[in-house]
Structure 1
Amino acid sequence: MTIRGAFEELGEDEREALRTAVDSAQLAFTEAGTFTCDRSLSAFTFRCQVPAGPDDGEPEATERAVAALAAHGYPHRILRVGVTDMRHIKIRRKGGRG
């Protein structure tokens, strides 16, 4: 899941915590999620991995991703949510069939 959004009314302590988290974070899709943002801390991209059950669809995954974002506690508004269901990705192997 990729959530693009904007921070709203961050306090100085929140700004410092975010700067530290962004500077030390590896860009990855993790269950806790990682932020990338510009130095002004206005807009962000939040990436998280949401394990899906056999019957889960986009609404359930989106709900869990938004909960992961909210768990970080930063005031924000969501602009866009992108979902890639890895169960539907086909892997092409070099030099082989199919």
Structure 2
Amino acid sequence: MFRVTIRGTFAGLSDADRAALRTAADSFGAAFTEAGTFTCDSSLSAFTFRCQVPADLEDGDQEATQRAIAALDAHGYPYRILRVAVTDMRDIKIRRKGRRR
């Protein structure tokens, strides 16, 4: 599983887009989902988009980034990307506390 975080700015939101984002702002969570979730500032200028992409991809980070951008495009808001961060969850090691005897 890849987790992709896209930080960006909204570009030229219409009044209808702003109203829709303000209405939905309470329902947006900071979770990683396949459809992607937004968090944004109160002025609706900057946002963070979190998306989860299946890890069976041969191309790795590039393919995960493309799929996350496609999920961002599906929301239909005009944007400009500032930064993209991709984490391959298969590379994450979990340290477990040892059992005490």
Per the normalisation by structure 2, the TM-score is 0.89
Instruction: Verify the 8 A CA contact 2:5 2:86 in the aligned structure 1.
Output: yes
Residue 33 of structure 1 aligns with which residue? 36
Q: Secondary structure of the equivalent of 1:19?
A: helix
Deviations 1:43-90 (A, max 9, x none): 100001011215241000000000000000000010100001001000
Task: Output the aligned Cα RMSD.
Answer: 1.1
Equivalent in the alignment of 1:46: 49
Residues 29 and 38, structure 2, Cα contact 8 Å, conserved in 1: no
Counterpart residue number, 1:23: 26
Secondary structure of the equivalent of 2:21?
helix
Identity of aligned residues (%): 73
Which residue does 1:65 correspond to in 2?
68
Corresponding residue for 1:83? 86
Unaligned runs of 5+ in 1: none
- State the AA in 1 paired with 2:94: I
* TM-score normalised to structure 1 length: 0.92
- SS, match of residue 24 in structure 1: coil
Q: Flag structure 2 segments of 5+ consecutive residues without an equivalent.
A: none
Partner secondary structure for residue 77 of structure 1 = strand
